[in-house]
Amino acid sequence: MNRFFDEAPDLVRISGTVFGGRYRIVRPLGEGGMSTVFLAEDTKLPGKKWAVKRTREYGISELSAAREAAVLMKLSHPYLPHVVDFFPPDEEGFSHLVMEYIDGVTLQQLFERNDGPLPVPALIRYSIQLCELLEYMHEMESGPIIFRDIKPSNIMIDTRDHVRLIDFGIARKQTADRHADTVPLGTIGFAAPELLERGYSDMRSDLYSLGATLYYLLSEGRTFHARRELLELTGGARESMLADLVARLLDDVPERRPQSAAVARAVLEQCLESDKARASSSAAEGLVPTHEIRRMRIVVGGLYAGAGATFTAVTIASLLGDAGIANAVVEHPRVRPELYGMLDGERNAPPNYDYWSSRPDDGGSPWRNGRTEWIVIHPIQAGAVSSVNLEQRLYRINAAVTIIDVGEHWLEPDVSELLDEADVIVAVADPNPSRWMLPLTGNYASALMKRREEGGEVHFIANKSVSFKGSKEWLHSFPVKPSATIPNVAYEEIVRSSWKGEPVQQQPSVKPMLHKALATWIGQTLVPLRDSGGGRLGIGWLGKFFSVRS
């Protein structure tokens, strides 16, 4: 009998099982040929999550989970998962490796969701990080560690936009007098030819796999192994340098490849410097297209105070984050600060976080949750925050979608300027009849309708919807039919989440109904938008994602 898991063979029955006296299995995260990774809760540290890799041993030394644990326990690097526990094979042949839970998505998942190739600058940054990690692994004092299985599905991007290399199942220590690996393993299409043909690998084999990964991601999913065609990239010096590096990394002869990760990293850094120089030169000449320096911007506000603008902004961010889209939620300097309390900033804000009101020109330590970055006003500084240089600050946010909460300050001059630049404007109202009677409510609605009539992408959203006798009358009170209706979230859920310092939008009991309420609107509204240069905003797969999940 398995001493850690129930005897039930199906994964559903395993959920809820506690093993090792500490780790309660929640649900499967992913499954491979010989192992399954589960999300687990720590019963001794409430709220702490772990990833548990359950592997059936097959007697092949290169596939031993114990070997994977031994390799990882020797390593300590921010781009690697941290191992905390290992349970050797039980009587059924299953071993269990307990690791840090990484909140993020793999490069393969990002690639599959994206409409076209992933952005070149992002891929260069991720590749530089991988080279930094490979330098560390290849230069171990005890001898180089060769990963041997670099590919998009083994590279995670975490919530800090950093790579995390996962699945060390076939990694090995390189031995100088060893001319062949015990078992010639690797993924066809990404593994170096010397590994597949001769069963031998060294540091340059990992560099080949890095090149194969870049080729795959930059050529719409084709593999160099199958095509044997040089990578063609359109653009300037950056693309030319990158294509040349990929070709060198993919050379069949290891001696003709870059001989170390440091060499490859230096070329990648030159690609970035070339890109920065081009951007600076173009900016100085006034030639930078708008779509290269700004992405999608959504302005969200309420028709009156308390309508739920902040709740709606965070809900949109939550859905975008679930779709793997990096986004930022910004509290406009004029609003009453709510995010700090909602997110329990006293407990959860990074120690060196620079609040929006005091953020230096070069930016501060980011505060992120999932794929969302929070740009928060500290309650103590409320009212003392200046909107001077607001536009410059917004441009420095590195996210595909920026969501700005302007509260009910629609007619303020600095907010009007934001509305002029917004791709989407969202006005929120709830069923409270007394607030609908306020004179300003009508003024705000009229001003927004004027923008809509002039061609602006203005949408009204009904918030806190409940079943009551006058519900139809309420919905007909909007200037136009609401684009979406958000159901009321129980006050108990909001309070419970607030005390936990987590957005209620991410709670399992709340997320499905919010997804159902807004997914269609997001898929239909955000996808068709184009930037001012006529190009897609880079999230064209969003409609497909939401239409499938709705």
What is the percentage of the chain residues whose pLDDT exceeds 90?
20
Mean pLDDT of the chain, nearest integer: 78
In the prediction, which pLDDT does 134 show?
Answer: 92
pLDDT exceeds cutoff 60 at 499: yes
* Alpha-carbon span 145 to 135, nearest angstrom: 10
Q: Report pLDDT digits (tens) over 502-525.
A: 788 888 888 888 988 888 888 777
Instruction: Find, among 243, 225, 211, 80, the residue nearest to 155 by Cα.
Output: 80
In the prediction, which pLDDT does 197 show?
Answer: 76
- Rounded to an integer, the average pLDDT of 381-396 is 66
Contact assessment for residue 97 and residue 83, using Cβ atoms and an 8 Å cutoff: yes
pLDDT exceeds cutoff 80 at 128: yes
Domain shared by 246 and 356, yes or no:
no
In the prediction, which pLDDT does 543 show?
Answer: 43
Q: Quick one: pLDDT band at residue 527, thresholds 50, 70, 90? A: low
* Alpha-carbon span 307 to 4, nearest angstrom: 49
| Of 486, 511, 544, the domain-final residue | 486
CA dihedral 162, 240, 288, 398 (to 10 degrees): 0
In the prediction, which pLDDT does 526 show?
Answer: 66
In the prediction, which pLDDT does 512 show?
Answer: 86
Q: Quick one: pLDDT band at residue 12, thresholds 50, 70, 90? A: low
Domain shared by 128 and 252, yes or no:
yes
pLDDT exceeds cutoff 50 at 306: yes
Domain shared by 245 and 355, yes or no:
no
Cα atoms in the 13 Å half-sphere on the side-chain side of 445: 20
Domain shared by 164 and 262, yes or no:
yes
* Alpha-carbon span 130 to 117, nearest angstrom: 19
Q: In this structure, what CATH number is given to the domain that contains residue 207? A: 1.10.510.10
Q: Report pLDDT digits (tens) over 56-83.
A: 765 544 445 666 677 777 777 888 888 8
In the prediction, which pLDDT does 326 show?
Answer: 81
pLDDT exceeds cutoff 80 at 89: no
Domain shared by 151 and 68, yes or no:
no
Pick from 150-154, 183-187, 424-428 the range whose average pLDDT is largest.
424-428
Domain shared by 367 and 451, yes or no:
yes
- Rounded to an integer, the average pLDDT of 461-471 is 88
Q: Give me the long-range contacts of 382-389 (CB less than 8 A, separation at least 24).
A: 382/336, 382/337, 384/357, 385/333, 385/356, 385/357, 386/333, 386/357, 387/332, 387/333, 387/334, 387/414
In the prediction, which pLDDT does 84 show?
Answer: 80
- Is position 547 within any domain? no
Contact assessment for residue 36 and residue 28, using Cβ atoms and an 8 Å cutoff: yes
Residue 51 vs residue 394, higher pLDDT: 51
pLDDT exceeds cutoff 60 at 430: yes
Q: Quick one: pLDDT band at residue 291, thresholds 50, 70, 90? A: very low
- Is position 406 within any domain? yes
Domain shared by 61 and 79, yes or no:
yes
Q: Quick one: pLDDT band at residue 181, thresholds 50, 70, 90? A: very low
What amino acid is encoded at 142 in this protein?
Answer: S
User: Helix 203-218 crosses helix 261-284 at what angle (to 10 degrees)?
Assistant: 40
- Is position 509 within any domain? no
- Is position 493 within any domain? no
| Of 254, 283, 312, the domain-final residue | 283
Query: Do the bridges between strand 163-165 and strand 327-331 make them parallel or antiparallel, or are there none, so unpaired?
Result: unpaired
- Is position 435 within any domain? yes
Q: Which domain holds residue 137?
A: 104-283
Q: In this structure, what CATH number is given to the domain that contains residue 94? A: 3.30.200.20
In this prediction the pTM is: 0.50
Is residue 460 classed as helix, strand or coil in its secondary structure?
A: strand
Q: Quick one: pLDDT band at residue 180, thresholds 50, 70, 90? A: very low
CA dihedral 260, 263, 269, 273 (to 10 degrees): -170
Domain shared by 269 and 327, yes or no:
no
| Residue 486 Cα distances to 365, 460, 493, 518, angstroms | 33, 11, 15, 7
pLDDT exceeds cutoff 60 at 247: yes
CA triple 482-486-488, angle to 5 deg: 135
Q: Quick one: pLDDT band at residue 459, thresholds 50, 70, 90? A: very high
How many domains, in total, are found in the chain? 3
Domain shared by 356 and 458, yes or no:
yes
What amino acid is encoded at 535 in this protein?
Answer: G
Output the furthest CA–CA distance in the chain (Å, rounded): 84
- Rounded to an integer, the average pLDDT of 24-52 is 82
526-536: b or e for each residue (b if 16 or more CB lie within 10 Å)? bbeeebeeeee
In the prediction, which pLDDT does 410 show?
Answer: 94
In the prediction, which pLDDT does 65 show?
Answer: 62
pLDDT exceeds cutoff 70 at 123: yes
Residue 182 vs residue 231, higher pLDDT: 231
| Of 100, 132, 154, the domain-final residue | 100
In the prediction, which pLDDT does 406 show?
Answer: 94
pLDDT exceeds cutoff 80 at 351: no
In the prediction, which pLDDT does 224 show?
Answer: 85
In the prediction, which pLDDT does 359 show?
Answer: 45
- Is position 184 within any domain? yes
- Rounded to an integer, the average pLDDT of 145-155 is 87
53 is in an annotated binding site: yes
Enumerate the H helices of 20-160 as residue ranges.
65-74, 107-113, 120-138
Domain shared by 300 and 424, yes or no:
yes
- Is position 194 within any domain? yes
- Is position 212 within any domain? yes
In the prediction, which pLDDT does 149 show?
Answer: 84
Domain shared by 79 and 113, yes or no:
no
- Rounded to an integer, the average pLDDT of 464-493 is 89
**Tokens 């990833």 label which residue?**
51
pLDDT exceeds cutoff 80 at 226: no
Report residue 247 as tokens: 């070709």
Residue 172 vs residue 492, higher pLDDT: 492
Instruction: Find, among 232, 229, 227, the residue nearest to 243 by Cα.
Output: 232
What amino acid is encoded at 5 in this protein?
Answer: F
Q: In this structure, what CATH number is given to the domain that contains residue 369? A: 3.40.50.300
- Rounded to an integer, the average pLDDT of 377-404 is 73
Domain shared by 274 and 306, yes or no:
no
